[in-house]
Structure 1
């Protein structure tokens, strides 16, 4: 069921994300050890906690994002198989215009193929539900930590740039490199979590789009209508932070907006 191209794409994206996470985490650890070591004159418990925190962050983000990308690649293959099966429905010209297929398939055993794809869709939905249940508490805490880290990291950069003479009494470390590394670390974690969930949800919705258009082309295929009813009545894939808010691109926009708002308020009142 899983095509080699989808496997390659999923693994390639996963390797890129893990590599970037490792580089950012390594830079953050080095900046933390250097700046806090210089400030407190030696190794402290704060440095140990920071390093352990970064390590846990890499493990959680990489495992969750790679699992989501694996589901995305399987839904992508499912949609490719569905498109190939539906290409034989209706008149060729209208079917190609609405569905966007490149090569028209044959209509043999269409009902059986669609039934198998229904089963695959159910299995993938169940896999997404299990992943959500397994990681929801940890991901919720990590998202909150990332958002707070973005806000505080932005504030540190503001203090360093606007009130250098008071920076040591207001923030953890009056170092631009230290603040910038932590800000990038938190921001990339948030981007990886939200964007991966969003592309999975978009790919899962593509199946219903294809089926709706196929029903519009020709309404006399019962298995197409049954597949569409299954998707409509079943729960759509939506990763949430313990049911409090959806994890998607809107969360990223909200986090950036919140950070900007707090930064303006803190800049107006906190630096006086």
Structure 2
């Protein structure tokens, strides 16, 4: 009984595969950089307004939550929300907005940085590709780091979350000290 022969697998030479992958990586990196530049160019003022609105909204909402918990008898004097639930929903909304903006900008920044890491971890390459990889690595190293800013005022990334939280807590402490005097 004869067994059928398994089909032969044709594998392209490693250098051609590596060259194609390197080309795709280069195209993805350049597309990411161009997209970030265009986004920064067109949306920097709206990003600054969104960030400002979200942080101030978080401050106001946390103040309202603080008043509703600490001094429920004066909640009728609050300018916006007179309900603890409504204030907590607004606080959650503003925090969610800051978190989404910071994490998405941070993710894009991490992807640009990861390109250099991928290039440094490439296995030993044929001499014809090592020159291309070295040149591409120099470009990724020399390229200004991918940053998103709120109109140049503050860099938006994961570290911004800590800064925003510090601002909200600081204002809440200051305002809370004035409220306890009532």
Q: TM-score range by the shorter chain?
A: 0.7 to 0.9
Pick the structure with more helix per residue. Answer: 1
| Distance in structure 2 (CA, Å) of the matches to 1:222 and 1:184 | 51
Q: Deviations over 1:31-62 (max 9, x none)?
A: xxxxxxxxxxxxxxxxxxxxxxxxxxxxxxxx
| Distance in structure 2 (CA, Å) of the matches to 1:160 and 1:109 | 64
Residue in structure 1 matched with residue 135 of structure 2 by the alignment: 226
Residue 108 of structure 2 corresponds to residue 200 of structure 1: yes
Shift in Å at residue 206 of structure 1? 0.9
Residue 156 of structure 2 corresponds to residue 247 of structure 1: yes
User: Match for 1:262 among 168, 171, 174?
Assistant: 171
Contact 1:159 1:271 in 2 (8 A): no
Aligned-residue CA RMSD in angstroms?
2.2
Q: Deviations over 1:49-103 (max 9, x none)?
A: xxxxxxxxxxxxxxxxxxxxxxxxxxxxxxxxxxxxxxxxxxxxxxxxxxxxxxx
User: Match for 2:44 among 133, 136, 144?
Assistant: 136
Shift in Å at residue 152 of structure 1? 0.8
Question: What does residue range 98-247 of structure 1 map to in structure 2 within 5 Å?
Answer: 106-108=14-16, 110-111=18-19, 113-115=21-23, 117-214=25-122, 220=127, 221-247=130-156
Q: Deviations over 1:113-144 (max 9, x none)?
A: 52453244223211211011111111110100
TM-score between both structures, scaled by the size of structure 1: 0.56
| Cα 1:112/1:175, change in 2 over 3 Å | closer
Gaps of at least 5 residues in structure 2 are 1-12
Gaps of at least 5 residues in structure 1 are 1-104
Residue in structure 2 matched with residue 39 of structure 1 by the alignment: none
Residue in structure 2 matched with residue 84 of structure 1 by the alignment: none
How many residues in Structure 1 have an aligned counterpart in Structure 2? Answer: 167
SS across alignment from 1:151: helix
Q: Which moved more, 1:136-145 or 1:160-169?
A: 160-169
